[in-house]
Amino acid sequence: MSDALALAIADDARLAGVAAEAGEPRYRVTQIRQAAWRGGAAGFEAMTLLPAALRDHLGARLRFGVLTEVATRTADRGLTHKLLLRAADGQTVETVAMTYPARPPAHPRRTVCVSTQVGCAVGCAFCATGQLGLRRHLTAAEITDQVLIAGRAWHGAGLPPASHVVYMGMGEPLQNYQPTLDSVRALIRWGVAARRITISTSGIVPAIDRLATERLPLRLAISLHAVDDDLRTRLVPINARYPLADCLAAGVRYAAASGRRLSLEYVLIAGVNDRPQDALGLRRLAEQTGAHVNLIPMNRIPGSDLATPSPPQVRQFAAAVGGRASVRFSRGDQAAAACGQLRAELVPRPAQLARAARRLRLPVG
């Protein structure tokens, strides 16, 4: 069966059509979705609210899942789970499921960080995924299925399904534009509010402008990491094609079209982009764009000498950036599930690590 027949991305019309083939009414669509999304069903056979004949027919006409969970690592006292998932062709990706308990006035959240590619072509110097190179794009069904699998894990712990989804895992979402957008629309059908979906990008300007035309109130997060073109090109090579000013201008256009405030992601790397002038430059850019800044202390990756600033240095940098900034300590570091650490079972290529180090004029360990 093709991905077009995957349950993860099937719309209501398709599900109703499959049910009608078995002589069943349209309300079965709601029951199917409830069983898969909130009921923790791991297959059509587990949807016991449905007639047995319909369950058999669904299994013959649709693929229940396109990814298989092969391993799980847990961190943060059980609040973070890194899932290793395998596709039909044997390629593996990682997904992170994070639980955030209620802290009034904030409500509890269950956030899934999804991958959109096997590896990544962008090659950011501080990112384990970026040193893998791009193996292939994920399909819309493979992206969406990550959220359904995470939901089954939460169901086993007595928790509801995902409330938020962030496209911040392996890969550059906007280099895999149509499958990414199709997965967004599928997740909205499953019940994730568009305003609770965030797409992170290294700055693919034409794709940002295209996303603005979709008229979806998604949050856009631009991975900035530097306040001048020279350093940003060394950290995020795609900046040579889409310079900082163009990238930020596209972000401002997107914010105006979507009605959502722009976010800027800034990974703090000791001795590289954490200088006082960097903080002042970042403050100026945040003020000019009206953006919120997420400061992320770098997480160590194997084979790299890049380091994390000390906690006092992080606090000092955040204070200099000002009230538009907040420090986001990544979840899942103990399970290599934090920002920049995802790499599945793949191994970074030494030549790519060496090139990343040379761009920053750092030795390779």
Instruction: Give 27's contacts (C-beta < 8 A, 6+ positions apart).
Output: none
CATH class label, 67-359: alpha beta
Strand 292-297 versus strand 325-327 pairing type: parallel
Looking at domain 3-61, its CATH class is mainly alpha
Contact call for residues 268 and 274 (beta carbons, < 8 A): yes
Catalytic residue set: 94, 339
pLDDT digits (tens, 9 = 90+) for 250-293: 999 999 999 999 999 999 999 999 999 999 999 999 999 999 99
CB 124, CB 223: distance < 8 Å: yes
Domain boundaries of the chain, sorted by first residue? 3-61, 67-359
Amino acid identity at 273: N
DSSP secondary structure letter of residue 303: T
d(CA 1, CA 10): 13
- Residue pLDDT, tens place only, 239-255: 999 999 999 999 999 99
pLDDT at 335: 43
Give the model confidence (pLDDT) of 312-328 as tens digits: 999 999 999 999 999 98
Task: Judge whether 3-61 and 67-359 match in fold.
Answer: no
- Name 10's Cβ contacts closer than 8 Å, sequence gap at least 6: 18, 62
**What percentage of the chain has pLDDT greater than the value 70?**
89
- Among 269, 234, 262, CA closest to 248: 262
Distance of alpha carbon 203 from alpha carbon 251, whole angstroms: 8
- Give the separation between CA 170 and CA 186, rounded to whole angstroms: 20
Report how far residue 318's alpha carbon sits from residue 321's, in angstroms, rounded to the nearest whole number: 5
